């Protein structure tokens, strides 16, 4: 089992039970207690669990359902989405990653003639009846909590495409790179990056400086970051140093 996969499954087990002991984890996963202890320490560092004596308790939101996440930082996401929509020109081909921020981007594109590629069932459902949008849905295994298609089928479909822009959301963003709270999505998102001429990262400022479970790619794969006015001067300097265009909504 790969490191990210094991940590994702450990996180899921802790979320389901609320608390799990190290002894129980050792009985469920083919890894030593010292390895599992390091996994728990990592999950504690990124704020998904709280280490306790003999185990860990769930405190994160990485597996929260799509509907529940739509209310998190909602005003900021709407401003960010409107700013992203202004960057997109009529008749472009764009790729929208799954997520609540990109869902708001799709909502903000109303009336603009576009070819839209997405692996997000919520976004596809929103756009399917818009006559100005030519919609291409990327199939694959449909992850139940988020309604996002992923896996080998999705990766293969994306490998045969080329789009003008990718608009993606992230679970966290640090100087070390872009992160996602769901390691199952990472391979698909990496292929999305390869598919696009330009990568726009749409993220509320609360995610800046915060890692998540799985690293997607280095920070400088982003050509443009759109965030809210909570961005610090330090982060403005980081984006300038990495030659990443910044839009503050």
Q: For the chain, how far is it from start to end, CA to CA, in angstroms?
A: 41
Q: For residue 118, what are the contacts with CB-CB under 8 A and spacing of at least 6?
A: 95, 96, 97, 98, 106, 124, 127, 135, 136, 137, 138
Helix or strand (DSSP H, E) at 69:
helix 66-69
Statement: the pTM of the whole predicted model exceeds 0.95 = no
Residue among 77, 147, 68 at smallest CA distance from 107: 77
Residue among 248, 234, 104, 106 at smallest CA distance from 174: 234
- pLDDT tens-digit series, residues 93-138: 999 998 889 999 999 998 999 999 999 999 999 999 899 999 999 9
Q: For residue 27, what are the contacts with CB-CB under 8 A and spacing of at least 6?
A: none
CA dihedral 193, 76, 123, 247 (to 10 degrees): -40
Query: How many other CB atoms are found less than 10 A from the CB of residue 77?
Result: 26
What pLDDT, on a 0 to 100 scale, did the predictor assign at position 226? 98
Of 16-20, 135-139, 185-189, the poorest mean pLDDT is in 16-20
CATH 3.40.50.1360 assigned to 67-248: yes
Inter-residue contact 243 to 218 (CB < 8 Å): no
Residue among 202, 178, 203, 179 at smallest CA distance from 87: 202
Residue among 44, 49, 69, 72 at smallest CA distance from 59: 49
Distances (CA, A) of 101 to 29, 55, 87, 232: 34, 34, 15, 20
Question: What is the Cα–Cα distance from 2 to 5, expressed in whole angstroms?
Answer: 5
Rounded to 10 deg, the angle between the 33-45 and 3-17 helix axes is 70
CATH architecture of 3-58: Orthogonal Bundle (1.10)
Question: What is the Cα–Cα distance from 248 to 23, expressed in whole angstroms?
Answer: 47
DSSP secondary structure string for all residues of 167-229? EE--SEEETTEEEES-GGGHHHHHHHHHHEEEEEEE--GGGBTB--SEEEE-GGG-SEEEE-T
Confidence tier at 89 by pLDDT (50, 70, 90): very high
Q: Where are the domains of the chain?
A: 3-58, 67-248
| Dihedral class, residue 209 (left if φ above 0, else alpha if ψ from -120 to 50, else beta) | left
Of 24-28, 50-54, 237-241, 242-246, the poorest mean pLDDT is in 50-54
123 DSSP β-pair partners: none
| pLDDT surpasses 80 at 27 | yes
- Average pLDDT, whole number, for the chain? 88
């Amino acid at each position: 089992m790969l490191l990210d996969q094991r940590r994702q499954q450990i996180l899921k087990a802790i979320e389901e039970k609320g608390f799990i002991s190290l002894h129980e984890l050792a009985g469920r996963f083919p890894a030593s207690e010292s390895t599992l202890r390091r996994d728990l320490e990592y999950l504690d560092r990124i704020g998904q669990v709280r280490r306790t004596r003999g185990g860990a308790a769930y405190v994160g939101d990485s597996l929260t359902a799509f509907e529940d996440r739509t209310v998190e930082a909602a005003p900021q996401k709407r401003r960010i989405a409107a700013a992203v929509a202004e960057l997109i020109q009529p008749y472009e081909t764009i790729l929208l990653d799954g997520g609540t921020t990109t869902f708001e981007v799709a909502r903000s594109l109303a009336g603009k003639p576009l070819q839209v590629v997405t692996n997000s069932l919520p976004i596809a459902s929103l756009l399917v009846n818009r006559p100005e949008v030519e919609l291409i849905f990327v199939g694959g295994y449909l992850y139940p909590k988020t309604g996002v298609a992923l896996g080998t089928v999705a990766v293969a479909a994306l490998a045969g495409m080329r789009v003008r822009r990718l608009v993606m959301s992230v679970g966290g963003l640090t100087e070390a790179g872009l992160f996602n709270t769901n390691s199952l999505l990472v391979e698909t998102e990496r292929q999305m990056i390869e598919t696009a001429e330009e990568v726009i990262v749409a993220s509320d400022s609360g995610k800046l400086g915060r890692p998540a479970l799985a690293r997607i790619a280095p920070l400088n794969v982003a050509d443009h970051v759109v965030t809210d006015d909570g961005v610090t001067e330090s982060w403005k300097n980081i984006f300038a140093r990495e030659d990443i265009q910044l839009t503050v909504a």
